[in-house]
Amino acid sequence: DQRQAVSDVQDVLVSTPQGTVIQAKNLMRVADSVGPSQIQRKNQQRIAYVSAEPEATLSEAVQAVNDRLPQIHGMLPKDFSIGFGAEVEQQAKAFDQLRLVLILALVLVYAVMASQYESLRDPFIIMFSVPTAAIGVVLSLKLTGTAFNMQAYIGIIMLAGIVVSNGILLVDYTNLLRRRDGMALRDAVELAGRTRLRPILMTSIATALGLVPMSLGIGEGSELQVPLARVVIGGLTTSLAITLLLVPTVYTLFEEGISFRRSKK
């Protein structure tokens, strides 16, 4: 109630070191100036927010701002800095969490296969199909001009459990032919590839085609799910094409290497 008006502040009584009491207007000069209506702090530092609603995606907006920042860095006063907050900060935290989820997903997939195969070697061979999906992910985002966001990251996590199915079919049937029929390594690999080609194509193509409507962005609000669908389709397509050659090759190399070491011993 003592600062409702300028005159109120001037009439405030101030004690001096000599013990006398005088009015504040005898110690100060009052002048009008422009200042902040409120002071905001973060981590004990004063901050000022500059916010906007970009028409582009968040990553494109951040890149556009970063491209212009060098033009004003030379004009910044001492001890001033520029940083991103709000949605950019939340996205970075979300990506860190999703990265941990992806690692856990890969570990769990490997653990489940290892328990079912009762072996560490066969699941390791099957896991070679996971990196091949990354090629399709990059190509699908690049060719369609889709920004990488949280939905795309979720699609990558889904691929960790989807793309291994083709390798499982190949390795499992190859082991069955060698164990049940006593077939030679090369013959078992070739027969397993020919026999399992049709179910692999059917499951992969059916999954990819089921996501095509979502990848086209048909309907209101569907653009949020478009990156997920395109990532899964791209990763599944390249994994299908490469796994049919890579997994049998790696399987043969591992088995021939083990047989060679045994023969030397």
Adjacent-strand bridge partners of 21:
15
What's the confidence (pLDDT) of residue 259? 60
Q: Is 87 exposed, middle or buried (0-12, 13-18, 19+ CB in 10 A)?
A: middle
Residue 170's Cα: distance from chain center in Å?
30
- Count of CB atoms within 10 A of residue 34's CB? 4
What is the tens place of the pLDDT at every residue in 81-100? 888 877 788 888 888 888 89
pLDDT beyond 80 at 59:
no
* In the chain, % of residues over pLDDT 90: 9
Q: How far apart are the first and last CA of the chain?
A: 95
- Per the CB < 8 A criterion, the answer to whether 92 and 58 are in contact is no
- pTM equals 0.70
Mean pLDDT of 132-145: 88
Query: pLDDT category, 244, cuts 50, 70, 90?
Result: confident
